[in-house]
Amino acid sequence: MSKGLCIILSLILSFLLIAGTGCQDSGRFAVAGKAGTLGLGGEFTVGLATDINARVGYNMLDYDFDEEEIDDVEYDLGVELSSISALLDWHVFDNSFHLTGGFISMDNEIDLDASPTENVEIGDTTYTPSDIGTITGSAEIDGMSPYIGIGWGNPIQSNRRWGFTLDLGVAFTDSPDVSLSSTGIVSPADLEKERQEIEDELDSFKIYPVITLGLFYRF
């Protein structure tokens, strides 16, 4: 777990402990710990009206994957997720179900690293492992993304101080920007074609699925 994430979770835990022992229950505010496809993080909710809540949150995650195949090449992947969200919930039936809209500012990066041990086709040419050396690169998704979704759980109108929330939605991102290089003798034209093919395979991330489970505390 990264140092930044430890600090965030520690601050949330400290706030919950202080609020639980000393705060009067106003019922208009809530904090939550979150986990999902955006990573791990925290969120603050305020009730604007009887059926509308506003939320701001921050999520992050660092994780490594071994030998994932992309365009017939086995890459080791290092995934770094970071995002800030600003959302509005409309509880249309005045219960836990809600419609959500807003924006998510993403700064996500996937580091690519491959050292083939057998012949591999790069672009239009088949190269030996010694010709390729090591292929390194990155795929980045960043910028402000519109978000729409649905969910269950209303921290503000809950009759309990503690509870769970679930959110399902999508963020509409730009296409990932991919960069690629090789320590061997792979031609620039073949590397560029490989880069474009990786971008095409990652193009589905223009619709980024968001699934998040939260544990809230109302105060």
Please tell me the distance from the alpha carbon of residue 45 to that of residue 52, in angstroms, as a whole number: 10
Please tell me the distance from the alpha carbon of residue 202 to that of residue 23, in angstroms, as a whole number: 47
* pLDDT value of residue 18: 47
* pLDDT value of residue 10: 52
Collapse the DSSP code of 126 into the 3-class scheme (helix H, G, I; strand E, B; otherwise coil) and give the result. Answer: strand
The more confident residue out of 65 and 214 is: 214
Average pLDDT of 150-179?
A: 91
Collapse the DSSP code of 200 into the 3-class scheme (helix H, G, I; strand E, B; otherwise coil) and give the result. Answer: helix
* pLDDT value of residue 63: 87
Residue 132 has φ and ψ, to the nearest 5°, of: -80, -40
Low-confidence winner among 27-31, 53-57, 151-155, 178-182 (lowest mean pLDDT)? 27-31
Contact 165/150 with Cβ under 8 angstroms? no
How many residues would you count in the chain?
Answer: 219
The torsion of the CA quartet 148, 150, 153, 155, rounded to 10 degrees, works out to 20
122 forms beta bridges with 125
Average pLDDT of 2-31?
A: 55
For residue 219, what pLDDT band results from cuts at 50, 70 and 90? confident
Percent of the chain with pLDDT over 70: 88
Contact 3/24 with Cβ under 8 angstroms? no
Average pLDDT of 155-163?
A: 85
CATH of segment(s) 3-218 = 2.40.160.170
Please tell me the distance from the alpha carbon of residue 36 to that of residue 108, in angstroms, as a whole number: 14
In this prediction the pTM is: 0.78
Q: Give per-residue pLDDT as tens, 30-50.
A: 999 999 999 999 999 999 988
Q: Which amino acid is present at 62?
A: D
Q: Give per-residue pLDDT as tens, 103-132.
A: 999 999 999 999 888 898 898 899 999 999
Token pair 């505010």: residue: 29
- Each domain of the chain, given as residue ranges in start order, spans 3-218
User: Sign of dihedral through CA atoms 48, 46, 87, 209?
Assistant: negative
| Cβ atoms within 10 Å, residue 86 | 14
* pLDDT value of residue 175: 83
Residue 52 CA to its chain's centroid (Å): 25
Please tell me the distance from the alpha carbon of residue 110 to that of residue 140, in angstroms, as a whole number: 6
SS3 content of the chain, % helix, strand, coil (to 5): 20, 60, 20
